[in-house]
Amino acid sequence: SQTIHQWPATLVQPVGSPLSLECTVEGTSNPNLYWYRQAAGRGLQLLFYSVGIGQISSEVPQNLSASRPQDRQFILSSKKLLLSDSGFYLCAWSDQVGTEAFFGQGTRLTVV
Amino acid sequence: GNSVTQMEGPVTLSEEAFLTINCTYTATGYPSLFWYVQYPGEGLQLLLKATKADDKGSNKGFEATYRKETTSFHLEKGSVQVSDSAVYFCALSERAGGTSYGKLTFGQGTILTVHP
């Protein structure tokens, strides 16, 4: 069966520090991969998606970037964190048909 | 563009009460519709889905019917339990093809608290 792993579960980082969140998927090949963010008091917003290695699409302008160095690995990064980057980050995958997404457990990021 | 609007929360109910969470959507195409649930401290789990008009998704006693004429996908449960306390998200995805690839547009979420 397919599983998705996301780490770390919680993270506290100072303003201006770098960020790297990692997500890996097992049990499937060539998945579509997604990063979502849930800011406090708000709904989920799609940040990035990827349909293949090295292929990244950004949905909203922001301080973050994403990379897909391997088929089942998706990384969310920042060179310098802002207070507004705080939130709950969720990684997800779907198959190539893309009619259903499966989510990781999430990373709660607090920028202080 | 696409959008999803959910009823404002939070919703507080007593155990065994009837639950309705309203959801309406706007989409340029013919989307698939979903309800996701987020239990405290966890990620999202798919609760149910419907992919075409008049389809009824159901799971764990929850139901929602895809109403194209009213662009709605309201979530209902006849008798809620304390364990149903969670945040519920309505969402849509466009059909595969072009650049859509199943990207989800979410509503803002509705917090449900069920008391014994």
For chain A, give the longest Cα–Cα distance: 40
pLDDT at site B30: 82
Q: Which of A43, A101, A106 sits opposite B108 (nearest CB)?
A: A43
Quick one: average pLDDT of A37-66?
88
* Distance separating alpha carbons of residues B29 and B95, to the nearest angstrom: 8
Give the 3-state secondary structure of residue B83: helix
Instruction: Please check the confidence at residue B102 and state whether its pLDDT lies above 70.
Output: no
pLDDT at site B99: 44
Helix, strand, coil % over all residues of chain B, rounded to 5: 5, 50, 45
Q: Which of A97, A100, A105 sits opposite B49 (nearest CB)?
A: A100
Please report where in the chains the tokens 């919703």 appear, as a residue. B11
Please report where in the chains the tokens 């802002």 appear, as a residue. A82
Share of chain B above pLDDT 70, in %: 93
B25-81 per-position pLDDT tens digit:
999 878 889 999 999 878 889 999 998 899 999 999 999 999 999 999 999 999 999
* Distance separating alpha carbons of residues B34 and A100, to the nearest angstrom: 9
- Cβ contacts of A44 on chain B, cutoff 8 Å: 44, 89, 91, 104, 106, 109
Give the 3-state secondary structure of residue A85: helix
User: Is the Cβ pair A99, B93 closer than 8 Å?
Assistant: yes
A53-112 per-position pLDDT tens digit:
999 999 887 889 999 999 999 999 999 999 999 999 999 998 876 667 889 989 999 999
- Cβ contacts of B93 on chain A, cutoff 8 Å: 98-99, 101
Nearest residue to A67 via CA among A6, A21, A9:
A21
Greatest mean pLDDT among B2-11, B62-71, B101-110 lies in B62-71
- Stated as kind and residue range, the H or E segment containing A60 is none
User: Is the Cβ pair B106, A44 closer than 8 Å?
Assistant: yes
* Distance separating alpha carbons of residues B1 and B105, to the nearest angstrom: 10
Instruction: Please check the confidence at residue B96 and state whether its pLDDT lies above 60.
Output: no
